[in-house]
Structure 1
Amino acid sequence: MTDRVMIVTGGSRGIGAATARLGARAGYAVVVNYATNEAAAGAVVAEIETAGGRAMAVRADVGSEADIIDLFRAADRFGTLGALINNAGIVDEAASLAEMSGERLERMFRVNITGSFLCAREAVRRMATGRGGNGGAIVNVSSVAAKLGGPGQYLDYAASKGAIDTLTVGLAKEVIDDGIRVFAVRPGIIDTDIHASGGQPDRVAQLGPGLPMKRAGTAEEVAKAILWLASDEASYSTGAILDVSGARSIWP
């Protein structure tokens, strides 16, 4: 399947990097997208190539439509698109809504919502059988924050992920006749450096023991769920949203 391409947005670290590695093991040629950290993306590509897979790193800010178009054009030169993992996203420092600026909200929604919509659009244009494509899978990375709301800390982030859930359900219905399956995963507290980017580098250590499973999840655990949804093993599913949260989303 090395002529089938998987694009992983935000693929240089955390859940994205873990997904890129597993995607390569599953036989995809992997496009590792990154916004700024070229060295980290290069390290993921090198690891895949050392293991005998095919991968390339492509810089693109998913907050820019022009960059997204360039990303998919680069992937076109790599092979036929078979899977998009809509993983790239940002979080800001903890704040209440009363403290949030319009600039913060615009950036959050531009990257987390508009960027995911535009990446999905480009994938559909290539995958849709009605447009001459071969079908495929889109897996959006949401968050259990979409269900919990993120009050007092990440309300804007939670709202952006709620939009991703709606995108998943609506798009799955829209493209079902075009051979495209659409899913989302909703991670809970996962041990990645996204917490540091939100100003809480010790968040996993603080919250982990109090979670239902008494620990945070790993990027690999989320990536395995993503790869299953994208695979033919989930061929009779679409529009599904899978919580990978150690029961956090249903716990009182």
Structure 2
Amino acid sequence: MTPVTVITGGSRGIGAATARRLAAAGHHLALGYRRDHTTADTLTAELRATGVRAIAVPADTRDPDQVTALFDAAAELGPITGLVNNAGITSPIGPFTDLRLDDVREVIDVNLIGYILCAQQAAHRMTHGAAIVNVSSVAATLGSPGEYVHYAAVKAATDALTIGLAKELAPHGIRVNAVAPGIIRTDIHALSGQPDRPDRAAARIPLGRPGEPDEVAAAITWLLSPDASYTTGAVLRVGGGL
């Protein structure tokens, strides 16, 4: 049976890199994305050229109806065997005392509520041998002082979600793991107001450089693969030593 994987935030960054790796491994793919139709369509055309089936589905993961529609569309490709919970945002970097309530709520809604809604849909539909990978962050254990403590707190909740869901779904043969990227070259830094953050942060990363999306995608791909068949409830750090 050909694997069918749903990737949220699948049109760019870590999501797009993961889609390319999974296509190379023979997965059919359903890419959830927020609003950039052109980028999503370009990527799905690239994936289809490798011989797999791929669709792009606009979906705001905060909305349960849109999440259901994403998984319904994915199910047209075949039984869903994988979920990469990747859609996420930060808010402007700054001190905790300057944090706006609207930013807190949006970070929680996208990065936690969205993950829960997608994992719930996946758990309803998946059968023995399926797997979920949540994209967390090293911020979950580092706390991100002076930058985005609230984001770090939500990513710590992602780790707890991963561990608890892994234990609950293990009797059904469904594995649940997380990857915790460090500072990776994606446009999330521009959206938080500091596009040069990866290069500025290089000096405090033990390996001396920011990571690339494909390096995180490699870990996600392994966690979804049969090679990780005895791995569940793990949070795999891909942070250059952070």
TM over 0.5: same fold? yes
SS of match in other structure, 2:201: helix
Counting only pairs closer than 5 Å after superposition, residues 28-177 of structure 1 correspond to structure 2 as: 28-127=27-126, 133-177=127-171
In structure 2, C-alpha distance between the alignment counterparts of 1:49 and 1:187, rounded to whole Å:
28
User: Is structure 2 residue 222 aligned with structure 1 residue 228?
Assistant: yes
Which of 194, 201, 217 is residue 207 of structure 1 equivalent to?
A: 201
Structure 1: 5+ residue stretches without partners: 128-132
In structure 2, C-alpha distance between the alignment counterparts of 1:202 and 1:55, rounded to whole Å:
33
Name the residue aligned to 1:130: none
In structure 1, C-alpha distance between the alignment counterparts of 2:185 and 2:71, rounded to whole Å:
29
Which of 225, 235, 238 is residue 241 of structure 1 equivalent to?
A: 235
In structure 2, C-alpha distance between the alignment counterparts of 1:208 and 1:201, rounded to whole Å:
13
SS of match in other structure, 1:185: strand
Structure 2: 5+ residue stretches without partners: none
In structure 2, C-alpha distance between the alignment counterparts of 1:67 and 1:185, rounded to whole Å:
25
Shift of 1:209: 3.8
SS of match in other structure, 1:159: helix
Percent identity, please.
49
Superimposed CA distance per residue, residues 99-150 of structure 1 (whole angstroms, 9 cap, x where no aligned partner): 11221111110110010011000000001xxxxx344000000000001101
TM-score, normalising length: structure 1: 0.93
In structure 1, C-alpha distance between the alignment counterparts of 2:221 and 2:68, rounded to whole Å:
24
In structure 1, C-alpha distance between the alignment counterparts of 2:84 and 2:63, rounded to whole Å:
17
In structure 1, C-alpha distance between the alignment counterparts of 2:150 and 2:168, rounded to whole Å:
27
C-alpha RMSD of the superposition: 1.0
SS of match in other structure, 1:183: strand
Moved over 4 A (4+): none
In structure 1, C-alpha distance between the alignment counterparts of 2:96 and 2:240, rounded to whole Å:
28
In structure 2, C-alpha distance between the alignment counterparts of 1:90 and 1:177, rounded to whole Å:
32
In structure 2, C-alpha distance between the alignment counterparts of 1:156 and 1:69, rounded to whole Å:
28
Name the residue aligned to 1:195: 189
Q: Do the aligned partners of 2:60 and 2:67 also contact (CA within 8 Å) in 1?
A: yes
In structure 2, C-alpha distance between the alignment counterparts of 1:47 and 1:73, rounded to whole Å:
23
Q: Do the aligned partners of 2:53 and 2:77 also contact (CA within 8 Å) in 1?
A: no
